[in-house]
Amino acid sequence: MMKQGNPSNPALRLLFFASLAILASAGTLYAANANPDYTYFWLALGIPTGVVAIAYMASYAFNSPALRAVLQDELLQILATGAVALTLVGTQAVVDEYAVSVLGAAGNVDYPDIASAMDAASAKIATLAGGAASTLTGMEDASNIMGREASRGVFCNFMGVGFSLNNCSPFNAYRGSLTAGAFTTSIALADTYAQGFILSLARAYAFSIIIPIGLLLRCFKASRSAGGALIAIGFGFYTVYPAVILTTDNLLHGSTPKDSASIPLMGKCDPKDPSVSSALSQFTSYGEQLTQYETTKNIAYFVMVRVLFLSILNLIITLSFIRAFAQMIGSEIDVSSLARIS
């Protein structure tokens, strides 16, 4: 006759100590006073533990050894999920502490009141957005002034014979390049807005909704793959993405990266001046200012490299981490399509 409810059963002891470990870790997560909020982590771990415990007791009531074997495997997965949760919390704390310490030691005035890597990355994106907006405004002002001055002319009519003098019109030749530059800068500005939106979504939902749901789903075999994917996505965009933004910007551009330069504005053009050489001299002089190497280099570097290129690189690094981390915790994500889009 089979023994039932034996308190010395190794499986029961494993269940008891595993429940204590999960509850202890959940209490630690609940008591953590940090940014982000880990309030729902203990629910994500406590609910599967309770379900498995009830099912395990039911397996003795209905005398189902096969079910107990399955539940023991599920219990080990709950323990592994609890270890993943604690790893996420510890990693996030280390990243935040390191980011705050490094930026504080550097005395960077751009981040006076940061408390986490997410705060620093958001401030960095806001700085880039301000620089792109300033550059776009400078191009717009230069184009408007140039169009107004280039449209000035003189028309004379004497006894049915007329002629026009348009010495200022050659300045329109520069407007095409400014239009192309403004188009690229507007794309860079939209890109900074998109990055800020991703960070705001991660701040609001990663540790409060996405990762807790992922932890809950990972505890069960049927939804383990989906749970691992959600955990990797939430952690990747909340922790890794801000850290990558700060790292690439500081490593590739130095502690004091160059900002975009201001666009020179042209002066008044006198359409009444009959001297062609005077108009040519003014046209050439402004062209030299507009195409000055240092000015164009700073603008192109800021817009093309520091904003556009690095945004693509940061996203590719983050997606690569998400895929690798998902594989580590038992999931598989195909990020090749997203990488091509980025």
Q: Domain limits of the chain?
A: 82-341
Q: Is the dihedral of CA 114, 117, 120, 122 positive or negative?
A: negative
Compute how many other C-beta atoms are within 10 angstroms of the C-beta atom of residue 64: 14
Residue 259 gets which letter from DSSP? P
Q: Residue 68 and residue 59: Cα distance in Å, rounded?
A: 6
Q: Residue 36 and residue 118: Cα distance in Å, rounded?
A: 10
Q: Residue 248 and residue 264: Cα distance in Å, rounded?
A: 30
Instruction: Render each residue's pLDDT in the chain as its tens digit; 342 residues.
Output: 444 444 445 655 555 555 555 555 544 444 444 467 778 888 888 888 888 888 878 877 777 777 777 777 778 888 888 888 888 888 888 888 877 776 655 555 455 567 788 888 998 899 899 999 999 998 888 888 888 888 877 777 766 666 666 778 888 888 888 888 899 999 999 999 999 999 999 998 999 899 999 998 888 888 888 888 899 999 999 999 999 998 888 777 665 666 777 888 888 887 777 777 887 888 888 888 888 888 888 888 899 988 999 999 999 999 989 988 988 887 777 666 555 555
Its pTM stands at: 0.78
Q: Residue 23 and residue 68: Cα distance in Å, rounded?
A: 21
Cα–Cα distance list, 25 to 81, 189, 319, 329 (Å): 11, 43, 29, 19
